């Protein structure tokens, strides 16, 4: 069992410290991740510092005009490099404040919620900066020296990232029972949002995983096997930074003029499947974006159908086949907006994973 870290302890005056500590503890008790609690603690700590400088000593003294002043301060703020906060960063800070004041009101610590009607900044919709072509992805796949044990392992990891679009922490968390070669699926346990999901994985990736598992992994376990699928040369699971560095080296070694790490394959998988005719809703289901309203009708999507779409539209295959259009593809005016929303979320994830 992973030991959960306690929520950050704010070093503010009692009028702020006690309600903030209670809120952070409540988040963890409701199974929010320590990372989420830490992010909200940081945003709320900045707000409390700003409010304290203006003579406010407790949440009960905060009014809507005060929050509007803080929103303007966020807009005018400049970072050390002179750049303003992005609309997405401003939105994150204000979302934490809205959540905290909503909770304070529900706990009857406030008579009314001053943050209830605060409008969050609109976030620009962006397309990804760096995406691999299918040819470039294959060049990277061919970088590891598969005449060596670690080269086989590295190829298997790269193929898994490319085929499934899973997050780096999801790759690290795979165990030997996560892969179902017969059905061509992989079970991701406790992904982002602490949700499990089953997704397709291609035959080419499965072939490399099987080769690694049978020929390489037994020698890496060093007599102590906890079931983790991908192991370092020391026989332990990868840390996030170590995995990032390994994948980045492989991409750089391909000399394709593009840089990135694990998340580059997540972006690439989504883009290439879209270009080959996959419905954006199926891709969102694969990526685990179940929080998006556009995926609600697909939250219980048939793994058999998802596997079929993956086989038709993902370019990495053992044998090439004609990619047909998905019968379930929806030709509606929202498709382009949904794709932009998808890439905006992926872009945020990429920044979160940057060490």
Backbone φ and ψ for 159, nearest 5 degrees, come out as: -60, -40
Catalytic residue among 40, 98, 298, 307: 298
Of residues 330, 320, 240, 350, the one with CA closest to residue 282:
330
Catalytic residue at 266?
yes
Tell me, rounded to whole angstroms, the distance of Cα 110 from its chain centroid.
34
Q: How far is CA 76 from CA 28, 111, 117, in A?
A: 33, 31, 21
Is there a catalytic annotation at residue 167?
A: yes
Catalytic residue among 263, 281, 307, 310: 263
Give the number of other Cβ atoms within 10 Å of residue 147's Cβ.
Answer: 7
H helices present in the chain, as ranges: 14-29, 34-53, 64-76, 87-106, 134-141, 149-164, 168-172, 203-215, 217-220, 240-253, 262-275, 280-287, 303-313, 335-353
Give catalytic status of residue 183 as yes or no: no
Catalytic (active site) residue 263:
yes
Catalytic one of 192, 217, 281, 314? 192
| Backbone angles phi and psi of 343, in degrees to 5 | -70, -30
Among 12, 155, 168, 289, which one carries the catalytic annotation? 289
> Is 192 a catalytic site residue?
yes
Closest CA to 28 of 6, 60, 59: 6
Closest to 98 in 3D by CA, of 68, 58, 56? 68
Active site (catalytic) residues:
167, 192, 263, 266, 289, 298
């Amino acid at each position: 069992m992973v030991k959960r870290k306690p929520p950050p302890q704010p070093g503010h005056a009692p009028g702020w410290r006690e309600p903030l500590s209670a809120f952070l503890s409540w988040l963890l008790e409701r199974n929010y991740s320590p990372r989420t609690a830490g992010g909200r603690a940081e945003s709320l700590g900045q707000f409390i510092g700003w409010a304290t400088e203006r003579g406010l000593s407790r949440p009960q003294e905060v009014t809507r005009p005060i929050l509007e002043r803080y929103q303007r301060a966020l807009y005018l703020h400049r970072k050390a490099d002179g750049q303003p906060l992005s609309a997405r960063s401003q939105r994150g800070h204000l979302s934490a404040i809205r959540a905290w004041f909503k909770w304070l009101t529900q706990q009857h610590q406030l008579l009314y919620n001053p943050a209830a009607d605060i409008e969050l900044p609109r976030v620009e919709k962006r397309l990804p900066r760096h995406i691999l072509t299918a040819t470039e992805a294959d060049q990277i796949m061919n970088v590891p020296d598969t005449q060596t044990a670690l080269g086989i392992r590295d190829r298997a990891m790269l193929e898994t990232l490319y085929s499934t679009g899973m997050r780096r922490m999801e790759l690290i968390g795979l165990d030997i029972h996560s892969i179902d070669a017969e059905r061509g699926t992989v079970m991701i346990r406790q992904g982002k949002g602490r949700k499990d999901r089953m997704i397709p994985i291609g035959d080419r990736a499965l072939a490399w995983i099987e080769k690694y598992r049978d020929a390489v992994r037994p020698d890496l376990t060093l007599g102590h096997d906890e079931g983790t699928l991908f192991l370092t040369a020391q026989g332990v699971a990868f840390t996030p930074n170590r995995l990032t560095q390994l994948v980045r080296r492989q991409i750089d070694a391909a000399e394709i003029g593009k840089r990135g790490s694990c998340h580059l394959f997540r972006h690439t998988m989504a883009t290439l499947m879209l270009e080959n005719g996959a419905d954006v809703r199926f891709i969102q289901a694969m990526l685990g974006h179940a929080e998006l309203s556009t995926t609600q009708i697909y939250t219980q999507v048939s793994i058999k159908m998802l596997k079929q779409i993956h086989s038709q539209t993902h370019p990495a295959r053992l044998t090439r086949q004609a990619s047909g259009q998905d019968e379930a593809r929806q030709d509606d005016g929202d498709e382009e907006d949904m794709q932009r929303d998808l890439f905006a979320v992926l872009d945020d994830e990429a920044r979160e994973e940057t060490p």
